[in-house]
Amino acid sequence: MREVIMTTAYLAPIEYYAHLLAADKIWVEQHDHYMKQTYRNRCIILGPSGKIDLTIPVVKPDTLKCATKDIRISDHGNWRHLHLYALESAYGNTPYFEYYLDEFAPFYEKRYEFLIDFNEALQEMICGLIDMQPCVSRTNEYYTMQSDVLDLREVIHPKRDFTSLDPEFKVVPYYQVFQEKLGFMPNLSIVDLLFNAGPESLIVLQKSICH
């Protein structure tokens, strides 16, 4: 049985979803200390001029060390409208954007209190669109590693090199709408794959893990 443990993630990268698909059991760590500048509250999409970071603002915790499960979403800066607009601007001309847009819009209209709940609901919807049924549970306490569980909590990270840290993940190219201008950009948010490749997203993810 293949088990992995990962952090929660907002519109996680393709690497994350490839592991979701390949694993028999996935643990999402919710008792870790929340860290800034991670995929917990940010994703990377691709616009006509290059990569774009979308970040969910969070309420500053009262203590220096706050568990991820307790992190609340902030309403600062009208971010919901800005993120949905950014998705429309980046992917409006992709083959499957109009097909999937109505599934995403409600997540930017409803107000979730906790970041982990928002990420989880969004992930469940995306898995449904891709026809994935991962077995995902949150940790009951901070997970102390066991040798038979693949720990990806510090591996899948926007500031780290996935090509050296995650040898099981390989880049599988697919059509990107700005490819002629920018070249192929690997391991972006899952929405880049979904809007560009549609039903073929599942095939790309299946080919993305070597083990």
Residue 188 confidence class, pLDDT cut points 50, 70, 90: very high
The structural domains of the chain, with segments of one domain joined by +, span 3-207
Distance CA 38, CA 115 (A): 13
Give the pLDDT score at 113.
96
Whether 79 contacts 53, CB under 8 Å: no
pLDDT for 176: 97
Maximum separation of any 2 CA atoms in the chain, in Å: 47
Indicate if the pLDDT at residue 147 is higher than 80.
no
Percent share of the chain, pLDDT over 90: 91
Distance CA 107, CA 28 (A): 20
User: pTM, whole model, 2 decimals?
Assistant: 0.96
Q: How far apart are CA 117 and CA 120, in angstroms?
A: 5
pLDDT at 77: 85
Task: Determine the length of the chain.
Answer: 211
Question: Where are any strands of DSSP class E within 56-178?
Answer: 136-138, 149-151
**Structural contact between residues 39 and 16, judged by C-beta atoms closer than 8 angstroms:** yes
User: Per residue in 13-54, pLDDT tens?
Assistant: 999 999 999 999 999 999 999 998 999 999 999 999 999 999
Type of residue at 36: K
- Determine the pLDDT at residue 109: 93
> Half-sphere exposure of residue 2, counting CA atoms within 13 Å on the CB side?
11
Residues 6+ apart with CB under 8 A from 65: 33
Six-digit token string for 202:
């599942």
Give the count of alpha carbons within 13 A of 48, CB side only.
5
